Structure formats: structure tokens, C-alpha cells
Amino acid sequence: MTLEEGAINSKLQELGTGWQRQGKHLILRETFGNFVDAMAFAQAITPLAEDQGHHPDLEIGWGRCTVLLTTHDDGGLTEKDFTLAKAIDRIR
């Protein structure tokens, strides 16, 4: 079940700095000093996603890893996206 606007805005405030809401996505653009660290960040997210059965779209380039969260099955933002975002915050 997708979250209502008010719930999305209040949950967004509970997340770490840098998370942005764009339409049906939560987005985090992390930067690094090299490609290896960007890849390592993506790899560190892997077990969190597997544990939660919820998977981000990741875009990796030199010095950057962009995390996009949405619940494809429901067509928008759900609790699952915020739960994964919080877990990602703990490994930043």
C-alpha cells in the first residue's frame, strides 16, 4: 500500500541528510573519491536488500553511487522504501 503525502513528508524527515523525494522515488546521491568505494557502497547495500526482500535501483559511476527506492509492485513509495533507506543510513 503506497503512503500518503503527509506520511511521506514526515518519514523523509526521519532519514539521514541527502535523501530527496522525487515523485515515486526516494533518491540518495552518494559521492566517493574513486570507483572502488562507490562499488563497495553498492555491495554493502546488497545484504540489506536481500534481508528485506526489497531492492534499490543503483547507478554507479566513478566516485558516485545513486540509490533509487520505490516499490515497483505497488507503483509508489511504501514503508518498505523507508525501512531500506534507514538501513542504508546505518552503513553510510
Ligand X SMILES: C[C@H](O)[C@H](O)[C@H]1CNC2=NC(N)=NC(=O)C2=N1
Measured from the CB of residue 35, what is the shortest distance to ligand X in angstroms? 25
Answer for which of 11, 19, 54, 77 binds ligand X (CB under 6 A) is 54
The answer to whether 26 and 20 are in contact (CB under 8 A) is yes
Cβ distance to ligand X smaller for residue 4 or 73: 73
Nearer CB in complex with ligand X: 72/92: 72
CA distances from 67 to 21, 26, 27, 30, 81 (A): 12, 8, 6, 8, 11
Q: How far is the CB of 1 from ligand X (least distance, A)?
A: 12
